[in-house]
């Protein structure tokens, strides 16, 4: 009975966004589009909760003849997808309708927007639950197709340029990842001899120690660079600031909070196989080294930003780099810190982009120097921006400070993996702490300047409560609550996932 329930829940998890997307092309009127959207995401969240309970009870879940595989690590990513997806769906109710009222987009284009949004959501869910490196690659490539049109949705010259840049760079990255998948297939085929299951994650985990280490090492490098482009790691990050600046606010929230996280998940899945064939120091060193470089450069670029959306973009590069350092160093503390950091960043960055969407609609600018006095112009948005800004700056007691300290502790205890660097030294820790201080000071300086100060004289004051404020309020509450105590069920889930990564 439990098996049938879980299988049904898995089916709903995949069908809800897929069916809602195609229905969105046919539904007339924004009201029913939003109803369909919320029904779909509500179904997805409910199915994810049922599956997570089954994972707690069984350790992992398979469905549809092992086509689907979900364990604690998958459940953490599904939790992020569902929570951020629900918040974005609620926020879109007021955000997209206002764009229609202002004549920014035609009413009929809402159908296309919701179709692309649901296909984007479906592709990320599929990438998370697929028991095949090949299907996972196809799903992540599908996110590129959907998000290219979402980034360029406003049809301005700048948005079209950002969408084109994103498409080119991510397609190059995904092509490299495909070569890594092919190499992994070649290596596993020599061991399994079964074409149909040669890329199955569960099969590869069982025979990983028998794979050719030289081929697997080369395959992981291509997979890391390919999916690392989606994560936004330096030097594959140049698409990210433009895309986040031009994308609609809920799309930017999904890109920063969810897509980057799914790409990290794909890397971790591949690493779980590669670590049994090659030295974990090799894969861990690759993650930690690129993560540290990304963190350091992003912290410096934060000081130079005059565009608040680009500021949030470089903040994403910084936090993804820090999470990769945690996963690269590994161990129970490093992996737990990395997972917790992904969750905290997803919520804080989504809240930041919701606030950015409200600010842009009122001030009609993305320039930081032209936004002042948010406490009197948009008081609710000012509070959201301040909470998300303090969280992203890793100010205690926010949970991002706790996860960052866990990663720093793991790095101080173990150092960078020795295959890539000399034996553990204090240099990586000192560099991480110095860059943290730089990012902290630069980020808070920009954010607080927007929140306080005299407002421009020609700006309308006051903020009317709407449905779009519900996700802002809820995410703000969650960020504050996580800073006080992490719910025991989530802690157990993160601990189970970090244990899988530590094996």
State residue 112's pLDDT score.
Answer: 92
State residue 503's pLDDT score.
Answer: 66
The tokens for 268 are: 């971790």
Length of the chain: 503
Task: Give 313-328 pLDDT, tens digit per residue.
Answer: 999 999 999 999 999 9
Compute the mean pLDDT over every residue in the chain, rounded to the nearest whole number: 89
Taking the CA atoms of 259, 264, 265 and 269 in sequence, report the sign of the dihedral they define: positive
* Residue showing tokens 């950002």: 162
List 68's β-bridge partners, or say none. 63, 130
State residue 2's pLDDT score.
Answer: 54
Interior/surface letters 195-219, b for 16+ CB within 10 angstroms, e for the rest: eeebbbbebbeebbeebbeebbbbb
CA distance linking residue 110 with residue 395, whole number of Å: 39
Closest CA to 262 of 124, 143, 134, 141: 124
The tokens for 188 are: 């596993």
State residue 44's pLDDT score.
Answer: 94
Task: Give 301-314 pLDDT, tens digit per residue.
Answer: 998 888 999 999 99
State residue 453's pLDDT score.
Answer: 79
- Is the confidence at residue 422, as pLDDT, over 70? no
CA distance linking residue 341 with residue 322, whole number of Å: 8
Confidence of residue 486 (pLDDT cuts 50, 70, 90): confident
Which pTM was predicted? Answer: 0.94
């Amino acid at each position: 009975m439990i098996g049938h329930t879980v299988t049904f829940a898995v089916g709903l998890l995949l069908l809800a966004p897929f069916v809602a997307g195609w229905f969105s092309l046919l539904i007339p009127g924004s009201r029913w589009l939003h109803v369909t959207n919320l029904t779909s995401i509500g179904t997805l969240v409910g199915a994810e909760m049922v599956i997570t309970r089954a994972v707690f009870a069984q350790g992992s879940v398979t469905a549809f003849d092992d086509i689907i595989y979900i364990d604690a690590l998958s459940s953490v990513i599904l939790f992020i997808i569902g929570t951020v997806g629900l918040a974005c769906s609620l926020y879109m109710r007021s955000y997209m309708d206002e764009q229609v009222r202002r004549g920014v987009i035609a009413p009929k284009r809402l159908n296309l927007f919701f179709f692309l949004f649901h296909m984007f959501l479906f592709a990320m869910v599929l990438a998370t639950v697929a028991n095949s490196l090949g299907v996972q690659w196809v799903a992540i490539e599908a996110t590129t197709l959907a998000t290219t049109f979402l980034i360029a949705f406003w049809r301005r010259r700048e948005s079209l340029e950002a969408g084109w840049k994103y498409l080119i760079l991510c397609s190059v990255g995904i092509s490299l990842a495909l070569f890594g998948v092919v190499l992994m297939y070649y290596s596993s085929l020599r061991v399994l001899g079964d074409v149909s299951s040669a890329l199955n994650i569960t099969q590869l985990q069982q025979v990983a120690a028998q794979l050719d280490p030289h081929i697997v090492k080369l395959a992981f490098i291509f997979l890391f660079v390919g999916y690392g482009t989606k994560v936004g790691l330096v030097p594959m990050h140049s698409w990210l600031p433009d895309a986040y600046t031009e994308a609609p606010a809920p799309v930017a929230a999904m890109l920063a909070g969810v897509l980057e996280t799914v790409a990290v998940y794909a890397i971790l899945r591949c690493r779980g196989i590669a670590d049994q064939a090659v030295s974990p120091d090799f894969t861990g060193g690759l993650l930690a080294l690129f993560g540290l470089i990304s963190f350091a450069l992003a912290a410096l670029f934060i000081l130079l930003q005059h565009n608040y959306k680009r500021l949030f973009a470089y903040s994403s590069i910084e936090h993804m780099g820090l999470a990769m350092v945690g996963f690269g160093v590994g161990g129970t503390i490093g992996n737990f810190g990395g997972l917790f950091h992904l969750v905290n960043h997803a919520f804080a960055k989504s809240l930041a982009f919701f606030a950015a969407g409200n600010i842009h609609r009122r001030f009609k600018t993305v320039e930081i120097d032209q936004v002042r006095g948010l406490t009197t112009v948009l008081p609710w948005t000012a509070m959201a921006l301040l909470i998300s800004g303090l969280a992203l700056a890793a100010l205690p007691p926010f949970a991002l400070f706790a996860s960052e300290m866990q990663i720093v502790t793991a790095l101080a205890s173990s150092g960078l993996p020795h295959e890539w660097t000399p034996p553990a030294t204090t240099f990586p820790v000192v560099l991480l702490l110095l860059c943290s201080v730089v990012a902290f000071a630069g980020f808070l300086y920009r954010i607080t300047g927007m929140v306080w100060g005299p407002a421009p004289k020609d700006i309308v004051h006051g903020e009317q409560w709407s449905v779009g404020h519900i996700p802002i309020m809820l995410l703000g509450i969650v960020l504050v609550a996580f800073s006080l105590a992490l719910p025991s069920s989530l802690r157990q889930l993160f601990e189970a996932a970090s244990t899988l990564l530590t094996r």
